[in-house]
Amino acid sequence: IAAAPPQVPAAELPGPDAGEAIDLAAMVLDLPPAAPPAAGEIAALDIDPEIAPDLPQLGAAGATPGAALTGRDIEQIEAFADLPEEMHEELARAAHVGDLAPDEELAVDGAALVLSGSAAVCANIVDMPAERAAIRTLVPARGTLEEGIPLRVVAAAGGARVAIWNQTTIDNALRTCPWVLDELRTVADRLQSLAGATMGPLGELEETLLRRVLGRLRVRGLEPGEQLIHAGNPMPGLVIIGAGALELVDERSHDTLGAARPGELLFASELLGGQPAPSIARAAGGGALVLIADHPVLRELFESTPELLSILAQSVSLHAQRG
């Protein structure tokens, strides 16, 4: 049975014109909070297999192949809904189902599906959730970068039952539907970018505020060597490195001045001061994922979440102290 590939919306939106730049330095920190914008929830999450071998895995004692999972269950998952029936059955047979106790964590190899309870999806090195995964939430791990952000699933207070697959199983099961794999990678890119954002100054926000901010950011993927910002150009808004790295390159000498890594705020001082980019920012050899808040969105975020402006100001101050 052949399934026609659905239309996948573009992941990247056009940025603002240079004339839309705003003077952030003129804004104050005691802006009255507005009603938080409605942030859409991710219906399906995507995670990468070769992540954190030092984290617990569901082994023979904690997982049962295919237990309590049927092809009909797989069909109800949005990401898999349009797959042929035989693929549903194949995924159900290949799944390993296990229970996580409250706060028990699991490194996901390929993809995970929350069957009951709920869990947080976090970067390995921080405890702040990048996303919350409820029942029937698919959590894959393979994005477009070879080396993404290592992720883990942490069961909530009531515990969670999860089904897991390794990446080879996912690839084999979806071999005749490559567009589904592409969609999963797109979702994985966003999830990994959100996880990367929690590894920097934004991770200091209270979780509700962090959800509000992250929900307004768009993901942009960069090929190796692709330029994001040219020296002397206006800042496109708030830029947070989500995964991979950006090289900072001197425009005249073409010397590499440094790198911006996951969680870092790109050229925060210039952004707050209304100054142009001081150097070229381009993706490193492995590519990069960045989160962007264009100027109109950033203004709304500063009004609804003034704590974000405080975080940026603190980041600039710390960077200046370090020289």
Q: Are residues 76 and 161 in the same domain?
A: yes
Condensed to tens digits (0 to 9), the pLDDT of residues 165-189 reads 998 999 988 888 899 999 999 999 9
Mean pLDDT of 22-51: 39
Structural domains of the chain, count: 2
Q: Are residues 169 and 212 in the same domain?
A: no
Beta strands 105-107 and 111-123 are unpaired
Is residue 12 predicted with pLDDT exceeding 80?
Answer: no
**Contacts for 74 with CB less than 8 Å, ≥ 6 apart:** 80, 83, 88, 89, 91, 92
Which residues is 314 bridged to in the sheet?
A: none
Q: Are residues 163 and 216 in the same domain?
A: no
pTM value is 0.79
Place of tokens 């309590």: 68
Q: Is residue 8 part of a domain?
A: no
Q: Is residue 112 part of a domain?
A: yes
User: Domain limits at 241?
Assistant: 203-322
Mean pLDDT of 36-60: 41
Is residue 314 predicted with pLDDT exceeding 70?
Answer: yes
Q: Is residue 316 part of a domain?
A: yes
DSSP 151: E
Q: Are residues 170 and 220 in the same domain?
A: no
Last residue of a domain, one of 128, 150, 184: 184
pLDDT at 142: 87
Is residue 247 predicted with pLDDT exceeding 90?
Answer: yes
Last residue of a domain, one of 132, 154, 184: 184
pLDDT at 22: 42
Strands (E), 134-279: 138-140, 151-165, 218-222, 227-229, 237-249, 256-260
Phi-psi region of 273 (alpha: psi -120 to 50; beta: other; left: phi over 0): alpha
pLDDT at 63: 52
Q: Are residues 53 and 179 in the same domain?
A: yes
Is residue 42 predicted with pLDDT exceeding 70?
Answer: no
Q: Is residue 24 part of a domain?
A: no
Last residue of a domain, one of 184, 219, 250: 184
> Lowest-confidence range among 126-135, 221-230, 237-246, 313-322?
313-322
Condensed to tens digits (0 to 9), the pLDDT of residues 122-142 reads 998 999 999 999 999 999 888
Q: Is residue 195 part of a domain?
A: no
Condensed to tens digits (0 to 9), the pLDDT of residues 155-168 reads 999 999 999 999 89
